[in-house]
Structure 1
Amino acid sequence: MKIRRFQFLTSLSLLLIFSLFPSFSRAQNNPTFTLKELVQQARDNSPAALRAKNRKENSFWQYRLFRSNYNPQLRLTGTIPQYYQSYNQITQPDGSIEFLEVKQNLMDLGLGLEQVIGATGGTVSVNTSTTRFDNFLSYPGEPKTQYSGVPVSVALQQPIFAYNVYKWDKKIEPLIFEESQRAYVKEMEEVSIYVTQLYFEYLIAQVNSEIATSNLNNTENIFTIEKKRNEIGVTPEDELLQVELQVLNAQQEMAEAQLELESAAFSMNSFIGLNQSSKLNLISPENIPDFEVDVDRAIELAFQNRAEAIGFDRQKIEAASALAQAKGQRFQVMLNARYGYNNAALNFPDIYQNPNTQSLVSLGLSVPILDWGRNKARMSMAMANQDLVENTLAQEKITFEQEIFTKVKNFLMIKERLNVTKVSDDVAQRRYDIALRRYQTGNVTISNLNIAQNEKDSNKRAFYTSLRDFWMAYYELRSLTLYDFENDQLLYVPEKQ
């Protein structure tokens, strides 16, 4: 008896597990999302968001590379070894030529600390170096190995009246980096806009499927009622056929709605990175955040926060940089100065004993005397480009401001329209429910019921369309200003450099 009881309990347990497993599996494959949860899912996992993060990371390392140009650079240089063996042509004192075998080795090693002078565009460096020379075919009594070295030397390279790339990069590169950081925030908001569009495509398809299912059930019930009325002679044959045709149309609409739902699910799952077999259950975001948006405040925030606003300043500086570069190419003057010590010895330690002074000063010039108007043309082109940039930016600022103005007004209009369509949806639904009850009692004709059904369906779709437009405008407003009006906070706070 105990064995049978154990077998019975085991079988019952397995039966319960297998009966629960399909429902568990369906629950796993039918995740439920609110709009904001799905937006966050897309911002975390979608390929579009990951690409935006990669671009942000690339811009960060590009900025780090720029910053490293202004830090000291410690360099090790050398040739280890440079072996040479050949027969060389040597001219003798009497003018004759003798071919002598040469077998030599040369090794040199240098260490230098270099620092850019950002204000002037020059470089200053501190260097030390050692050279070893080996002559493997030296005559008896001659040294086989010799050393020379520079214990320490200080060098300066300074262009004069030249274009200072370090000065202009210090103005431009931080703006480029700041643009990229703000552009990343805007890209993420654009991901939110797109996933909101997909969300409502799926939600509206889901609503259409529910409408089609409800209409099919109601039409089938009406057809059943009309068949009974036809049997007792109340409903004529042509009206019965009309209702039967409505059943067939409802079945077709049901199939089309299901196909539309599957297509919307595929697009959604592909974008946010979910399994294609997942059937989403979306919660309608009908709780509308209550906040006010002032047009002037929105324009002010856009100019403060958007990457495009920083881009206006950057383009002006780049135009000024191009003009400075054209001026710097008119002539070139380079000052080179070096001061230090050097020595030569037969033993390596001796090169650091009583070294000699080593100094060098040179001023190189490159001044065009006759260039057939080349410098003038270059300067004129740079100045014309600067004027073009300033005029273009003036127009772009007007367009930028107009875009914010239009979008804010559009948002306010959509918000008002949403309230109207919500009331219309409720009224149309109540009217249909009343018409259906009156039809069932014989007080409303099938034509009036069909009119009420069509109005119910169109008003429900209009409500969800307005709901979609509101949430897309909501995220678009965030994208245009990089500001969260709902929570009254910035979406991007610049980091201290």
Structure 2
Amino acid sequence: MNKFFIAVLYILALFPFCQPVTAKPRPDARLFTFDAVIQLAKEQSPKYRYAAVLFENRQWQYRTYQSNYLPQLNLSGVLPEYNKTIEPRLTDSGSLIFINTHNASSSMQLSLGQEIWPTGGYISINSQMKRIDDFQADINRTRYSSVPATITLTQPIFGFNNRAWDRKISPLRYEEAKRDYREEMEDIAKEATSYFFNLLISQIGYEIAEKNVANNDTLYKIAERRYEAGKIPENELLQMELTLLNSVQNLDQAALDVEANTLKLKVFLGITEDYPIELVPPTEIPQFEVDEEVALAQAHKNRQQIISFKRELLEADMRMAKAKGETGFTANLFASFGLTQQALEVQEAYNNPSQQQRVRMGFNIPVMDWGRTDAIVGTAKANQTLVKANVELQRINFDQEIYLHVKRFKVLRKQMAGAKRADEIAEKRYSITKARYLDGNLSLLDLNIATEERDKASRSYISALRNFWLAYYTLRSLTLYDFERNEPLVIPSEG
């Protein structure tokens, strides 16, 4: 074999390794950057739609809570109630007789009511009009009864005030919902990161497998010529053939991995169109410093779990107050004052109305309950103590998680820089090793080792990128803070 022919084969063998790691996209493929995938996940993925609907549900719940403390105007009535039957009637002498009744009645009532949340009472102003048509009388008689205005107050005394506690807890629940929605958006971004890099790793694995098949095929052809020239033993030729066969099998498996991970990413993003996807690796890494104390302070300021701690403690206090308020002495006051009149004509039913007053005080005192009160109050107190202990333990774990993750984030950023440098070194070492193997200065074993190290370094670099971005979005989720812009995370659609 002359030197010119060897030089040509040498150039052909080196040519595939002059290409970049990312192969040219297919003509029908759509390019997706990392940022585009994250944006799609936050705008159209099934998980986003679920989170958006859940948050909307909590918004309506909060509006329902707010409406409980606003005046409520209601109009009710019966138009009409017709009655023709035989009814029992008590006579003046005390005997019971049955009489025929034939009448129709109609009524209309307008009421304006308002919760009194500091005391748990309810006050309302009512206006009512009734009409009765008596068809049983000799002459058809119609009568009207009016209540132009009545003020009614219902007030529990020494009881459990549900509205006062609801006013403390419901705003916390809504604030939890807003912060939980923000955390969910970052969790969606984190999950999208996993699917993105799973597909990217499989695509790069496929590109590596393609290059390995092309190079192993070239090396095998060179080995055949060397074997024919008597420059290498048959064992080395067989080893090259085996390496080529293995690389072809690896290419088939890599193609299957690309197809599977493409489908998973499309399902997660809610993409229904059938087209190939080519991913663009994120080359720009955000540069910012994260201090453990700052991250911890922002997490305490922004996270949903901190509000959850307050709510859990308040709910434990509420259950304690309810246990005491519903088992001891309780009383209820009902009072109403208004005007009323009755007449044969509508206009006369509002002339010179008479006063009407009603007052009722009811009470309940447990005399003997065989320890039921003590058991209910004791259970509530034990639960209150348990909640306080659990919240305290969760606070400790909360702080530890933030602190350790910031440390891990810093380590992963350093590891990513090291993995990138290792990838560059492994690629360069492979090129040198291959050149020396073609010159006959190194064995096939050395070439195989350099190939494995190059492939491993390429995958390790992409894995390091994956771990960094997962840690990045985990940090945002744990603190609800954007360290690049130095501002809390706010989602416009949550308002």
| Aligned pair partner of 1:348 in 346, 349, 361 | 346
Query: Which residue is 1:111 aligned to?
Result: 110
Change (3 A) 1:53 1:40: same
Task: State the shift of 1:277 in Å.
Answer: 2.2
Residue identity in the other structure for 1:103: H
Query: What is the distance in 1 between the residues matched to 2:336 and 2:80?
Result: 27
Maintained 8 Å contact 1:203/1:284 = yes
* Partner Cα distance (1:237, 1:333) in 2: 104
Task: Return the letter of the residue paired with 2:75.
Answer: L
Counterparts of 1:122-201 in structure 2 under 5 Å? Answer: 122-140=121-139, 144-201=141-198
Residues 96 and 401 of structure 1, relative CA distance in 2, 3 Å threshold: closer
| Cα distance change, pair 95–74 in 1 and its aligned pair in 2 (3 A) | closer
Amino acid at match of 1:38: V
Q: Which amino acid aligns with 1:319?
A: A
Structure 1 pair 96–400 and aligned structure 2 pair: CA distance change class (3 A) = closer
Structure 2 residue 405 is matched with structure 1 residue 392: no
Shift of 1:287: 1.6
Closer/same/farther in 2, CA of residues 96 and 440 from structure 1, 3 Å limit = closer
Is 1:277 aligned to 2:274, yes or no?
yes
Secondary structure at 2:132 match in 1: strand
Give structure 1 stretches of 5+ with no counterpart. 1-24
- Is residue 2:371 matched to residue 1:403? no
Equivalent in the alignment of 1:80? 79
Alpha-carbon RMSD: 1.9
What is the deviation of 1:488?
A: 1.7
1:8 corresponds in structure 2 to none
Query: Shift in Å at residue 494 of structure 1?
Result: 10
CA distance in 1, matches of 2:86, 2:30: 84
**Alpha-carbon shift at residue 91 of structure 1 (Å):** 5.5
Deviations 1:101-152 (A, max 9, x none): 2101111111100011111111111110011111101134xx6111111011
What residue is the counterpart of 1:12 in the other structure?
A: none
Equivalent in 310, 314, 317 of residue 313 of structure 1: 310
> What is the one-letter code of the residue matched to 1:391?
A
* SS of corresponding position for 1:71: coil
Distance in 2, matches of 1:439 and 1:52, equals 58
Per-residue CA distance 1:281-337 (angstroms, 9 max, x = gap):
111112211111111111111111110110000011111111111121123211111
2:61 equivalent to 1:56: no
1:77/1:436 CA distance change after superposition, 3 Å = same
Task: Write out aligned runs for 1:307-456 (5 A).
Answer: 307-329=304-326, 330-456=328-454
Displacement, 1:392? Answer: 0.6
Count of aligned positions: 470
Following the alignment from structure 2 to structure 1, what is the Cα–Cα distance between the partners of residues 98 and 171?
62
Task: Compute the TM-score of the two structures, normalised by the length of structure 1.
Answer: 0.91
Structure 2 length as normaliser, TM-score?
0.92
- Say whether the 8 Å CA contact 1:286–1:467 is kept in structure 2: no
Structure 2's unaligned 5+ residue stretches are 1-24
> Which moved further from structure 2: 70-79 or 243-252?
70-79
Q: What is the rounded CA distance, in whole Å, between the counterparts of 2:162 and 2:93 in structure 1?
A: 56
Task: Give the structure 1 partner of residue 464 of structure 2.
Answer: 466
Give the deviation of 1:190 after TM superposition. 0.7
Q: C-alpha distance in 2, partners of 1:51/1:90? A: 62
CA contact (8 A) 2:159 2:331 kept: yes
CA drift of 1:26 comes to 6.7
Is the Cα–Cα contact under 8 Å of residues 72 and 114 in structure 2 kept in the other structure?
Answer: yes
Give secondary structure in 1 for the equivalent of 2:230: coil
Counterparts of 1:165-314 in structure 2 under 5 Å?
165-275=162-272, 277-314=274-311
Cα distance in 1 for residues equivalent to 2:93 and 2:155: 47
Change over 3 Å in CA distance of 1:320–1:90 after alignment to 2? closer
Give the drift of 1:485: 1.2
* Structure 1 residue aligned with 2:101: 102
Matched residues in 2 for 1:209 and 1:219: separation?
Answer: 15
| 1:171-198 alpha-carbon deviations (Å, 9 max, x no partner) | 1000000101110111111111111000
Matches of 1:420 and 1:445 in 2, distance apart? 29
Query: Are the equivalent residues in 2 in contact too, given 1:182–1:492 (CA < 8 A)?
Result: no
The change in CA–CA distance for 1:312 and 1:462 in structure 2 (over 3 A counts) is same
Distance 1:494 1:195, change over 3 A: closer
Partner of 1:19: none
